[in-house]
Amino acid sequence: MNSFLRTTFLLGVMTGLLMLIGGMLGGRGGVAIFFVIAVIMNFGSYWFSDKIVLRAYGAQPLDASNAPELYSIVNELAQSAGIPMPRLYLIDSETPNAFATGRNPHHAAVAVTRGIMRICNREELKGVLGHELSHVINRDILTSSIAATLAGAIMMLASMARWGAIFGLGRSDDDDRGGALGLIFVAVLAPIAATLIQLAISRTREYQADASGARLTHNPHYLASALHKLEVSNERDPLDASPATAHLFIVNPLSAQGIARLFSTHPPIEERIRRLEQMTITS
């Protein structure tokens, strides 16, 4: 029920933002048009968010024939967790990272980069994949996928609003329009609001997946070792990722230094490692 309420709240706030932008761009008519767009987008996000995100990163399917070790690890963990085997995908990037997506355990997918398969040994891959399957088990990947799709749409529409203000779209005597200042306000506010919504999905989601993933693999040090490697590699060579989908990945794919870390969708790696190292797993 909590997952359902979180998703409903997220969809409602995103819909409100889209309608707000619609009102600024087209008055009352714009509100109606963007409400319809929001309904269609919400429906599409629920059913197709996994396909949208995977396509955005050019992810290619993997199976037992072309990734036998990865397939073996995921199959073993899925059986231990009592969930269906998720679909596997490869992202052609040397930056090590991974994410899970899909609306429920029966429609889940796990994507890994070429880089993570190169630098992580079997135990570390097991730790990473245990974390990702925990997102599937905890049923929080639907919320993340919807956030990724709708936040991207809001940022795109906010960009349209900025161009509208520049070229005079809001300069009208019509009281239904917000005017150029209103457009600029929305253009600045909407991306910030979209970011805050993604932060509201909660960093605790990552801590929970770390802990449950460690229990699934029976060894928290697998993931702790992998996180250390991933942090070093991503700081040196950040993944070419969209800010709208950054929260899906196991570590922040974007460069987040200084004050930017305050707005990161991920908790600090050092704190995640510290918590994992303090865990004691009993068989």
Which residues on neighbouring strands pair with residue 249, listed in sequence order?
99
Residue 132 falls in the annotated catalytic set: yes
pLDDT at 182: 62
pTM of the model: 0.77
pLDDT at 110: 97
Which residues on neighbouring strands pair with residue 100, listed in sequence order?
110
In the chain, which residues have pLDDT < 50? 1, 171-178, 258-260, 283
Q: 3-state class of 171 per DSSP?
A: coil
Distance between CA 196 and CA 242 in Å, rounded?
16
What six digits make up the tokens of 176? 């239904």
pLDDT at 3: 55
The residue among 164, 166, 188, 189 whose CA lies nearest residue 177 is 164
pLDDT at 169: 53
Helix 269-277 vs helix 220-236: angle between axes, to the nearest 10 degrees?
160
pLDDT at 256: 57
Residues 6+ away with beta carbon under 8 Å from 146: 7, 10, 11, 14, 42, 45, 46, 49
The tens digit of pLDDT for each residue in 97-106 reads 999 998 889 9
Domain at 56-140+203-277, CATH class = alpha beta
Instruction: Please say whether the beta carbons of 59 and 111 come within 8 A.
Output: yes
pLDDT at 12: 75
Distance between CA 207 and CA 209 in Å, rounded?
5
Q: Report residue 201: phi and psi, to 5°.
A: -60, -25
Instruction: Please say whether the beta carbons of 58 and 66 come within 8 A.
Output: no
**Choosing from 124, 132, 206, 231, which is the catalytic residue?**
132
The tens digit of pLDDT for each residue in 154-178 reads 777 777 666 666 665 554 444 444 4
Alpha helices, DSSP H only, in the chain? 2-56, 68-81, 114-119, 122-137, 141-166, 179-200, 204-217, 220-236, 269-277
Domain boundaries, the chain: 2-54+143-200, 56-140+203-277
